[in-house]
Structure 1
């Protein structure tokens, strides 16, 4: 479930971020704000999923630790109870030959003494063999534990540099990590360069045409949306976008062509950047139950009718 949440959260965040950049490029601020809020919500959701996973793992560790502690306490209590129990009398554990009459003859004690002597000699032989063969193993063990010993204060500067703890990474893993790093750096550089190219402010050439004509389609929702309401909505949106361009649209008119189509004429003619800003403002309307779509936009010469 967590992996599915991560996948869907990552896809949602990527989509919201992509459309955020697109709407900012199109000068559609309301849609950009919505995508930004959605991106923020997805990021908070992913952060909550990660935090919940961490808390769940911490709770599991604490639960296991408490269980092991309870088991250890129970074992200690059991051992302590056994140690505190009074010793029981075991009459049958004594040597029976001590209770027998003294006029009987036994060979148990001499046999036991001879066996002890033989076992002592055998143990001495084993000890000599072990001491002769254990010196190389002790030297190897001392070499392994040398890295954990404290350095001598007098000769600390003369110690050789110790190798790093842990196995060295393999060549294949290093190559894969380097390839992924190079690809990620290239993608990041391309994304930054593309955004810089799209959002860079450049000096535009003036439009030498006489005027710019804009054709918009107004769609209304609701049963009582008449032609007068549609014209009023179109006029409100048009007036709201008069100051969206670099030059205020003082000499701009909007006419009704019927069937929800309206035509606007802007003088002087707009530059390419001002066209994009005007289109984004018209299509990013926030008027209730109304939506405007720019059907076409182009320049008009003085000789055009």
Structure 2
């Protein structure tokens, strides 16, 4: 579901960015602002999707880390239990002291001395063992922790085989081809972004153009109203409002330009002196920009007019 949303978000961002460039080229600032806001919203949405994906992966890694810690603790306890287990008794290959098994009737003085010495040595060994057991538990746990890495993982634990399969082969290094491809993609991306910025700046900048040799420039617009009655007064008022707002949109202010009603929602204006091609583009963009509520102007025609034209 997240991938589908990311795909649709990417398409929406591409469309909003494309229309943003188009409206900037057409000098339609209100529509460009709307597309810019939409592009910003979609980018925030895509950023949220990327962050959600990263957080999901981090949560998965934390769960795997907790599972591995539990397995490590279990193996550590197992090794510690093996260290504390008493060694198995060695098989007796024969009597150690043959003279103790002799069935002689004589009595040896050495036997009581040996017994007393054994009792004393046993008591001393018991004291040493108690002291050693009291002081060696931290050392045993540290030793068990060091030996845990040498213990084989439990094959019955869930995910152990997947973890072993995901491990890279011994001595695997990142290929140089992958690094070169990443660098090439980065360079191409930077070049495309730089070209887009330079091209957009070249298309939208105001250049010093030569004067137009024609006598005047004629403009014919059509006014459409939505949501209200299409009365002539409302149409005329909307046309005059937009026309007055666009008087200062060209490099030469339209100080001597009037807008006349041709009927059926058509209005015509004559601009003197004649506008250059760049100013005509700016005037068309200003007139067709969606700045007036429930009104839309469409430039039917714009071009140069000579003095002998009717």
Could you say which TM-score interval applies, normalised by the shorter chain? 0.5 to 0.7
CA distance in 1, matches of 2:234, 2:273: 29
Alignment match, 2:308: 303
Query: Which residue is 1:294 aligned to?
Result: 299
- Greater mean alpha carbon deviation, residues 7-16 or residues 263-272: 7-16
Q: 1:75 to 1:201 in 2, by over 3 A?
A: same
- Report the secondary structure of 1:61's partner residue: helix
Q: Residues 267 and 37 of structure 1: is their aligned pair in 2 closer, same or farther, counting only changes over 3 Å?
A: same
Equivalent position SS for 2:248 = coil
Query: In the alignment, is the contact (CA less than 8 A) between 2:258 and 2:270 conserved in 1?
Result: yes
1:236 aligns with 2:241: yes
Distance 1:222 1:191, change over 3 A: closer
Looking at structure 1, the residues matched to 235 and 218 of structure 2 have their Cα atoms a distance apart, in angstroms, of: 20
Partner of 1:206: 211
Q: How does 1:28-177 map to 2 (within 5 A)?
A: 28-70=28-70, 166-167=172-173, 169=175
| Alignment correspondent of 1:282 | 287
Query: Which residue in 2 is equivalent to 1:5?
Result: 5
CA contact (8 A) 1:237 1:285 kept: no
TM-score by length of 1: 0.65
Change in 2 beyond 3 A, CA 1:194/1:42 = same
Alignment of 1:248-259 (within 5 A): 248-259=253-264
The residue that corresponds to 1:106 in the other structure is: none
Cα offsets for 1:217-273 (capped at 9, x unmatched): 111112523121111111111111111111211111111111111111112211111
CA gap of 1:224–1:168, structure 2 versus 1, over 3 A, is closer
Quick one: distance in 2 between partners of 1:75 and 1:173? 39
Query: How far does the alpha carbon of each residue in 1:71-115 deviate from its partner, in whole angstroms, 9 at most, with x for none?
Result: 555676788899999x9xxxxxx99x99xxx9xxxxxxxxxxxxx
Output the CA distance in 1 between the equivalents of 2:192 and 2:247.
39
SS of aligned partner of 1:303: coil
How many residues end up aligned between the 2 structures?
237
Shift of 1:37: 0.9
Q: In 1, Cα distance between the equivalents of 2:227 and 2:280?
A: 31
Report the 3-state secondary structure (helix = DSSP H, G, I; strand = E; otherwise coil) of the residue aligned with 1:242. Answer: helix
Contact 2:217–2:304 (CA under 8 A) maintained in structure 1: yes
Output the CA distance in 2 between the equivalents of 1:289 and 1:63: 57
Q: Distance in 1 between matches of 2:43 and 2:213?
A: 47
Residue 20 of structure 1: CA displacement? Answer: 1.2
TM-score under structure 2 length normalisation = 0.64
Q: CA RMSD in A?
A: 3.6
Q: 1:73 to 1:166 in 2, by over 3 A?
A: closer
Q: Evaluate the alpha carbon distance shift between residue 207 and residue 173 of structure 1 in structure 2; reply closer, same or farther with a 3 A threshold.
A: same
- Over 3 Å counting, the alpha-carbon distance change for 1:281 and 1:196 in structure 2 is closer
Q: CA deviation at 1:3?
A: 3.0
Instruction: Give 1:6 deviation, angstroms.
Output: 3.0
The residue number in structure 2 matching 1:154 is none
Q: What is the CA-CA distance between 1:11 and the residue it aligns to?
A: 2.1
